Amino acid sequence: MATCSPLTTYRACRPGYPKIDGCLEWQRHGLAAPQAVTSATADYLEAQDTLAAWIEERIEEDPKAWESRAALFESWSNWASASSEHIGTRATFLGKLERRFEPQRQPGTGSRGFRGLRLKRPAEQAPYWDR
């Protein structure tokens, strides 16, 4: 057995104790969720991502395009209402959109919006179940 002192760890003094090793591992890295749980959680969150569904149905990414914040929120509100989803506040919606896309003022007018986004024309907005 190793010579134990206050400066040595319990593990060095008592090798082969799996519960102590596990405790030390937990203290270093925390309690990690099992892979099955993290995978199921990711799948659930992806399925619940209503903003992504709206983007897929109503938005086209185009580097030359620009849409105003007001037009985007109006489109979101209409889509959410028709889809029986919670609309929420304009600030919450814009905050979520800003996490995915970079806001930018329109050159010349200074209006706030998003470059690279274009609302699809009504004919392009058919829900996925009608395509």
**Residue 35: pLDDT band with limits 50, 70, 90:** confident
Q: Is-contact 106 116, C-beta < 8 A?
A: no
pLDDT score for 56 = 92
Task: Pull the structure tokens for residue 5.
Answer: 């002192």
Question: What's residue 107's pLDDT?
Answer: 79
CB atoms under 10 Å from CB of 93, counted, come to 19
CATH 1.10.10.10 residue window(s) in the chain: 50-130
What does the pLDDT look like over 92-111, one tens digit per residue? 999 999 999 989 988 788 89
Read off the pTM.
0.61
CATH number of 50-130, picked from 1.10.10.10, 3.40.50.300, 3.80.10.10, 3.40.190.10: 1.10.10.10
pLDDT tens digits, one per residue of 37-76: 777 776 665 666 899 999 999 999 999 999 999 999 999 9
Q: Is residue 2 predicted with pLDDT exceeding 60?
A: no
Tokens of 16: 């082969």
Backbone phi and psi for residue 55, each to the nearest 5 degrees, phi listed first: -60, -45
